[in-house]
Amino acid sequence: MLSRNINKVFLIAKRLFPLCRSITGSGTRETLRIIKSELKDLKIHKVNSGTNFFDWKVPKEWIIREAFILDKNNKKIIDFKKNNLHLVNYSQPINKRLKKNELLKKIYSLKSKKDAIPYVTSYYKKNWGFCATSNFKDLLKKNYLKNDKFYVKIDSEFKSKGKLNYGELFLKGDSKKEILISTYICHPSMANNELSGPMLSLLLAKYFKKRKNKYSIRFLFVPETIGSIIYLKKNLKNLKENVIASYNLTCVGDEKNYSYIPTKKGDTFSDKAILKAFKYLKLKFKKYSFLDRGSDERQYNSPGIDIPMVCFCRSKFESYYEYHTHLDDLNFISKKGLLGSFKVIKKTIDIINKSYQPISTLMCEPFLTKYNLYETLSINNKKFSKDIMNFLQYCDGQNTLDEIAEKIKLNISKVNKMNTILLKAKLIKGVN
């Protein structure tokens, strides 16, 4: 079943790859429509351009029809239709002739990656431009004269009454407490940096939809940054009350190292669960600093929001040569790479579903004598009573039994016995 699903998501990726996605527009809507064809219960939401969410405003919807550059011989030297990345995403319309030096200023390339077409955006400030390899730009400088003119056309439009769309799938578990999985759907024609996250989310959703889960699982497919900000603004109360662990999935389709960006605190349940998964699967991984964050984990961990979200990658964004260029194509990702990522997040969710974190039912330290759990004579050995009190100190709903055992330096069998005793005395309960 898993093998069949992986084959299917790669076929879906081939359909998604050519679409010109952005934070708004038809490419994103078509992407969500295709995902919904596989996840029938996916809800597609829309918000109006111009709407404020926290400190942000939803931009006008971008419509792009065509974009190209003609040389003096009317030869197309750059064509958006051949590769989405040839155009600066969110470019404003242009229709004019430019001299070579004027044009060169509006063609973006990477000197460090001379064979790569870069991915460039300008969402929140009006601009326009094209992208090409540094090699192409060198040839343009060499093969054309200073006064040669080029015809530049970008047929685009900004729709003030437009929409921003995002997708949401909720798998109801036994508990209203939930695991949040987020990924983004706004990058055009890049496989690892864009499509691998939705592909993995699709695999996970298909798998856990057929399972009985202790916790509910929520999947989000959002335009990066602005999409998560919108979702947080609309759903913050529910998220704060119910999310017990959350993960952002990006760059998960290659076969290189596994990577992990911790939450702001670094020791939350989100962190602990995925670290246990790495350990269980005996996988090597690179742990980055929270300061290395760069995707939607930024929004969830931000002040006032404080929902601890881990970012999971194979090769972390910005760390591999092909990143944010046309070289990040479907050949860069593999079924083996995606399967490895699936195993990590599946195991993480399994660990969470099987987890048990006791929480004290009383405020302050309980009067243990009342429950026959304290030696009242000072001459007697009070070690058991002290162990009980140490145990209760860590019953805050954040620590599993094995973590408590480690903290209070007791073996797990003794901790399990104390847990049974305290449950019977109704001094603790399990977190649901």
CA separation, residue 61 to residues 46, 57, 138 (Å): 12, 12, 34
Give the neighbor-by-neighbor strand order of the sheet with 43-48. 43-48, 163-171, 215-222, 175-184, 243-249, 309-313, 258-261, 285-287
How do residues 319-340 score in pLDDT, each as one tens digit?
Answer: 999 999 999 999 999 999 999 9
Token duo for residue 280: 């269980």
d(CA 38, CA 352): 26
The reply to whether 2-59+163-354 and 61-159 are identical in fold is no
Phi, psi of 46 (to 5 degrees): -140, 145
Cβ atoms of 196 and 252 within 8 Å: the answer is yes
- Confidence grade of residue 391 (pLDDT, cut at 50, 70, 90): very high
To 10 degrees, the CA torsion angle through 306, 308, 312, 317? 20
How do residues 71-107 score in pLDDT, each as one tens digit?
Answer: 999 999 999 999 999 999 999 999 999 999 999 999 9
Cβ atoms of 110 and 158 within 8 Å: the answer is no
How do residues 136-166 score in pLDDT, each as one tens digit?
Answer: 999 999 999 999 999 999 999 999 999 999 9
Quick one: fold of 61-159? Glucose Oxidase; domain 1 (3.50.30)
Comparing CA positions, the residue from 125, 126, 122 lying closest to residue 88 is 122
How do residues 185-243 score in pLDDT, each as one tens digit?
Answer: 999 999 999 999 999 999 999 999 999 999 999 999 999 999 999 999 999 999 999 99
Report yes or no on whether pTM surpasses 0.85. yes
Report domain 2-59+163-354's class.
alpha beta
What is the pLDDT at residue 331?
Answer: 97
How do residues 261-310 score in pLDDT, each as one tens digit?
Answer: 999 999 999 999 999 999 999 999 999 999 999 999 999 999 999 999 99
What is the pLDDT at residue 379?
Answer: 44
Phi-psi bin for 318: left (phi > 0), alpha (psi -120 to 50), beta? left
Domain locations in the chain as residue ranges: 2-59+163-354, 61-159, 358-430
d(CA 193, CA 202): 16
